[in-house]
């Protein structure tokens, strides 16, 4: 069977277009979560932590937490203790609910822990420090919270 030249040209053109279209550089990378701060789940349970900085509305409120030592457990519980007082709560790393990776910290609404009971956005993590922030409507100033390993 003999193929006509114009049919062969059409076939080559169609196959070339299919080949070029399949070489698209769009691999839907926007749908893949980065999980840049996923290591927070293993960093926090390794030791005890202190609040080295807490600001609300641009005002330094670190003094509210300066005597407390925080222990983050692998089971998602957290305790904050000083010589006179102990408070327990929960913590969770969340990368599902939005584009930002979140750190959900929940305490009973006991002062001063009601101040840091938030669904924080993770700003940075390393083996000795975790920095968080949340925009809560304080005149455009985000709340910031930094834990430093003891």
pLDDT in tens, 31-46: 455 688 999 999 999 9
Residue 100 main-chain phi, psi, to 5 deg:
-85, 145
Q: How confident is the model at residue 13 (pLDDT cuts 50, 70, 90)?
A: low
pLDDT at 87 over 80: yes
What are φ and ψ of residue 149, in 5° steps? -70, 135
Write down the domain spans for the chain.
Answer: 40-149
Query: What pLDDT is attached to residue 90?
Result: 98
Confidence of residue 60 (pLDDT cuts 50, 70, 90): very high
| Average pLDDT value for residue range 1-22 | 67
pLDDT for position 23: 67
φ, ψ at 97 (rounded to 5°): -75, -20
| Model confidence band, residue 137 (pLDDT cutoffs 50, 70, 90) | low
- The residue whose two tokens read 């809560």 is 136
Instruction: Among 2.40.128.270, 2.60.120.1440, 2.60.40.420, 3.40.50.720, name the CATH number for the domain at 40-149.
Output: 2.40.128.270
The overall pTM is greater than 0.85: no
Q: Which two tokens stand for residue 85?
A: 């007082």
CA 88 from chain centre, in angstroms, equals: 22
Residue 3 pLDDT greater than 80, yes or no: no
Which tokens go with 131?
């920095």
Q: What is the pLDDT of residues 106-134, one digit of tens each?
A: 998 789 999 999 999 999 999 999 999 99
77 forms bridges with which residues in the sheet?
90
Q: 49: which 2 tokens?
A: 């932590």
């Amino acid at each position: 069977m003999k193929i006509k030249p114009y049919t062969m040209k059409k076939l080559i053109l169609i196959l070339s277009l299919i080949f070029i279209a399949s070489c698209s550089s769009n691999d839907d990378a926007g749908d893949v979560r980065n999980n840049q701060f996923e290591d927070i789940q293993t960093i926090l349970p390794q030791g005890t932590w202190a609040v080295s900085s807490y600001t609300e509305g641009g005002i330094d409120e670190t003094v509210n937490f300066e005597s407390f030592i925080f222990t983050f457990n692998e089971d998602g519980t957290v305790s904050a203790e000083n010589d006179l007082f102990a408070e327990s709560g929960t913590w969770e790393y969340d990368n599902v609910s939005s584009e930002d990776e979140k750190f959900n910290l929940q305490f009973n609404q006991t002062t001063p822990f009601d101040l840091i009971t938030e669904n924080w956005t993770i700003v940075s993590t390393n083996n000795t420090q975790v920095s968080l922030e949340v925009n809560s409507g304080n005149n455009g100033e985000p709340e910031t919270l930094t834990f430093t390993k003891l």
